[in-house]
Amino acid sequence: MLGNHSSEFYLLGFPGSPELRHTLFATFFLFYSVTVMGNMLIIVIVSVDKRLQSPMYFFLGYLSVLEILITSVAVPLMLWGLLLPGMQAISLTAGSAQLYLYLSLGTSEFILMGAMPVDRYVAVCNPLRYNIIMNSHTCTWVVIVSWVFGFLFHIWPVCATFQLTFLKSNVLDHFLCDRGQLLKLSCDDSHFTQFILFLMAVFVINGALIPTIISYPYIISTILKIPSASGRRKAFSTCASHFTFVVIGYGTCLFLYVKPKQTQAAEYNRVASLMVLVVTPFLNPFIFTLWNDRFIKAFQDIMKRCWQLLRG
């Protein structure tokens, strides 16, 4: 049993046979490795190639940093839990830190995602003023605001969650300190807290989605007016990756967070969290590079240079 000041929880993780757990470990380890290496590759190429020194790739580099940090908050601990024979213990301090970092980094990512369609709108619809509006000062402030807002916004929600009284059990039916499962274990009446958390999720996710909803009709309309097919394709390639990322990223988070009742079934939360922490970050490096001709060319040139250095 557990009191409000208990020192640890136990994560149930993924129940099943050792063979199933080892298969899940191999699968998730592959996904995590590709996620980290893919996003690190994006960061390196954006940093060293002068052709990618523009606001779009500046935001993409910081988005890759956030993807690595978000998935690293929970996935290594989840992988370690899959190798353990029983439940995994996590201290109250570590659990609160994990939840805080996960939510704060995720919110910072949403704000950055909300800024990216504005960048594409200015680039496509107002190209003559692009360098004036989206200058280095503006881009730096967007990144700073996204980080500061994300980390300040979740101080109260995490503190409120861990101030609840937990007497039912100290076992969380999840692979991380999930807020929904914590609220489920609480003996206090958490309906008001859940309602406030719902409003906050609506504010963050829908607030960051509004720039995309407003910008893309204008972007698509402008692209369709471009006379040459090559011009339309080039303009579309710079926007398609972001739009695909928005559909996948916002879709999974809407299912996970924008719901009045946070205490959903454990399987629902576990699958949704896997989409947010494992599947989406795994797909993002491919989404942002496969449709981007300029990035592919920069990647090919760097590979040629590395090959020449190895041969020389």
Average pLDDT, the chain: 83
Helix or strand (DSSP H, E) at 292: none
Q: Which residue has the tokens 């097919």?
A: 229
104-131 average pLDDT score: 89
Q: Is 32 within 8 Å of 79 (Cβ atoms)?
A: yes
pLDDT tens, 147-181? 999 999 999 989 888 888 877 678 888 888 888 88
Up-side HSE of residue 263: CA atoms within 13 Å toward CB? 14
pLDDT at 2 over 50: no
The confidence score (pLDDT) of residue 265 equals: 59
Inter-CA distances, 189 with 131, 186, 194, 260, 302, Å:
53, 8, 10, 15, 57
Domain assignment of residue 1, yes or no: no
Strand partners, 172: 11
Q: Compute the distance between CA of residue 139 and CA of residue 141 in angstroms, rounded to an integer.
A: 5
Among 55-69, 118-132, 221-235, the least confident range: 221-235
Domain of residue 33, CATH code: 1.20.1070.10
What are the angstrom distances between the C-alpha of 9 and each of 73, 101, 115, 172, 176? 17, 18, 38, 7, 10
Task: Give the pLDDT confidence score for residue 6 in this predicted structure.
Answer: 56
Global confidence as pTM: 0.87
pLDDT for 39: 92
Look at residue 236 and tell me if it is in a domain: yes
pLDDT-based confidence at residue 291 (cuts at 50, 70, 90)? low
Domain limits for position 109: 8-311
Q: What three-state secondary structure class fits 186?
A: strand
pLDDT digits (tens, 9 = 90+) for 86-97: 788 888 889 899
Number of domains observed in the structure of the chain: 1
Q: Is residue 2 part of a domain?
A: no
Residue 105 CA to residue 82 CA, distance in Å, equals: 24
Top mean-pLDDT range of 141-145, 159-163, 235-239, 308-312: 141-145
How would residue 303 be classed by pLDDT, with cut points 50, 70 and 90? confident
For residue 31, is it within any domain? yes
Domain assignment of residue 261, yes or no = yes
Helix (H) or strand (E) holding 172: strand 171-172
Cα radius of gyration rounded to whole Å, the chain: 21
Report how far residue 62's alpha carbon sits from residue 288's, in angstroms, rounded to the nearest whole number. Answer: 13
Q: pLDDT at residue 261 above 80?
A: no
